[in-house]
Structure 1
């Protein structure tokens, strides 16, 4: 597969990952662009293995690098759903709640949650993408899920009811 073809086919999915990592469309575009540029430099080596995994790993590493440089202080709201997102559609409200809750996680925790539950990767596969040990993935997943339960206690019930409504 050629690089242009890969970008054309996989950009929508990779763009969603970037958005879920950053919570901001413009940052997501920049993040994906940086990751694709890094992938292009190593395309001959990457194309026959797992180019998706390489781009995702590059995005996670780049995002953590940006996060370390910026260190923007957190602003926690009492209710993660907030009145600013008063949308009548339940699915939209759920998506906004999930996005806000994910944005409050550390970059590593967010990456683990996305890899494990959005990409449906095993702990070993997630550890491979992130370049860490399986135990580290387990710890980040445990901490992230605990934090999500604290920040948005009704989120689990909302996700389960949304899933059963389909």
Structure 2
């Protein structure tokens, strides 16, 4: 296979940047930070682009890079200083249900891996297997992180826990 060129890189980026920005926004909840995550991911991708021909699934590879950039940022976040208390401009007018401020605020309170799992599973509609590959963990870990994350998210949002579904018994016919 011939070595991928800069033209190939630019074509790939132009085709995927909107999806990467959406995923990054869903992970962090801030458009500017999402742009930073995408930029860092694409910069790292450019450095590795000459060897990209060896990768079986480039999209999965890039999504893994993006999630790693997000998780790394959360780990090293203790030294960052926030100069603003809120966003300097109003949020975009069009918001889908997963972008609602209440859900975003609750997601932000979850540990980074639980947050990443929930965003990838439910907002990006990725299967367990693919999320496990992106996070470099087992499918069981994805499932347990999903369960713990949903439990914590429900508690933060004030949604009662779903016990067992109660259905009327067949003998109870009033």
Assess same fold via TM > 0.5.
yes
Q: Mind listing any 5+ residue stretches in structure 1 that lack a counterpart?
A: 73-84, 156-166
Report what 1:127 is aligned to: 132
Structure 1 position 91, deviation (Å): 6.0
Q: Residue by residue, what CA displacement relative to the aligned partner does 1:64-100 show, whole Å, maximum 9, x if unpaired? A: 111111148xxxxxxxxxxxx9xxx996797222211
Report what 1:31 is aligned to: 37
Equivalent pairs, count: 141
Q: 2:122 aligns with which of 117, 124, 131?
A: 117
Structure 1 residues 145-154 or 49-58, which shifts more? 49-58
Q: Residue by residue, what CA displacement relative to the aligned partner does 1:25-72 show, whole Å, maximum 9, x if unpaired? A: 221111111111111222244366322222221121112111111148
- Asked whether the 8 Å contact 1:20–1:102 carries over to 2, the reply is no
Q: Residue by residue, what CA displacement relative to the aligned partner does 1:101-146 show, whole Å, maximum 9, x if unpaired? A: 2111111111111221122222111101111111111111011100
Q: Normalization by structure 2: what TM-score?
A: 0.70
Structure 1 position 152, deviation (Å): 0.7
Task: Output the CA distance in 2 between the equivalents of 1:25 and 1:53.
Answer: 22
Structure number with greater Rg is 2
Secondary structure of the residue that 1:17 maps to in structure 2? helix
Q: Mind listing any 5+ residue stretches in structure 2 that lack a counterpart?
A: 1-6, 80-89, 161-174
- Asked whether the 8 Å contact 2:106–2:153 carries over to 1, the reply is yes
Task: Output the CA distance in 2 between the equivalents of 1:135 and 1:93.
Answer: 25
Instruction: Give 1 or 2: higher helix fraction.
Output: 1
Task: Output the CA distance in 1 between the equivalents of 2:144 and 2:52.
Answer: 29
Report what 2:112 is aligned to: 107
Task: Output the CA distance in 2 between the equivalents of 1:24 and 1:94.
Answer: 10
- Cα distance change, pair 21–92 in 1 and its aligned pair in 2 (3 A): closer
